[in-house]
Amino acid sequence: MALTIEDGTGTSPSANSYASVQDLRDYAGARGVDLSALPDEQCEPLLIRAMDFLEGKRDRYKGYVSTQGQPLQWPRSDAWGISYPDALFPSNEIPRELVYAQLALAIEAQENDLQPNRLPTDTGPIIKERVEGAVDVAYAAPVQQQFTPAFAKVDALLAPLLKNNGLFLVRT
């Protein structure tokens, strides 16, 4: 599948990325990550997986999609406080932080599943193991909540793009 880069208009029905393979190579190189061994055909799925992760946050982004039927969550209208605290972000632009978050996630996607499944049959970690004449293994209780991986760099980049969930600070 070829990448179609969102240019900020929201009008391309096949847009599936905010960044190109060259953007990924430049971003990685500036951070000392060598992607030269990966052909473009292997970089594109990394960007798509990163986009899937970002699209999963659709209900947390500030503002509203700019164009009805646009395939991606950005560009957005009515997104306040992204570049400046009391300023409206242009509804025909893609925030640099969002592009960088996609690129950082694409690098992570080389070695990590960005959206791992948690199955009811999954067991907890082994807490006891005895091997003598017979094998005796005990597992911790399975974790009941859904596991979501944490990506500190991505969370920091996305922070200005996300709603505050009704929390705010009042100084007195």
| Of the candidates 103, 110, 117, the residue with the CA atom closest to the CA atom of residue 149 | 117
Question: Tell me: the pLDDT tens digits for 111-146?
Answer: 888 887 766 666 666 666 666 667 776 666 655 555
Run of H or E residues at 52: helix 40-55
**How far, in Å, CA of 96 to CA of 53, rounded?**
17
In a domain, 172, yes or no: no
Question: Tell me: the pLDDT tens digits for 47-102?
Answer: 999 999 999 999 999 999 999 889 999 999 999 999 888 899 999 999 999 999 99
The pTM for the full model equals 0.80
Run of H or E residues at 64: strand 64-65
Number of domains in the chain: 1
In a domain, 38, yes or no: yes
In a domain, 9, yes or no: no
In a domain, 154, yes or no: yes
In a domain, 131, yes or no: no
Transcribe 2-25 into DSSP letters. Answer: ---B--SS---TT--BSS-HHHHH
How many residues comprise the chain?
172
Whole-number Cα distances in Å, 35 to 41, 42, 106: 12, 10, 11
Let me know: does 152 contact 50? Beta carbons within 8 Å. Answer: no
Where in the sequence is the domain holding 103, given as residue range(s)? 21-117+149-161
Burial (0-12, 13-18, 19+ Cβ within 10 Å), 26: middle
In a domain, 167, yes or no: no
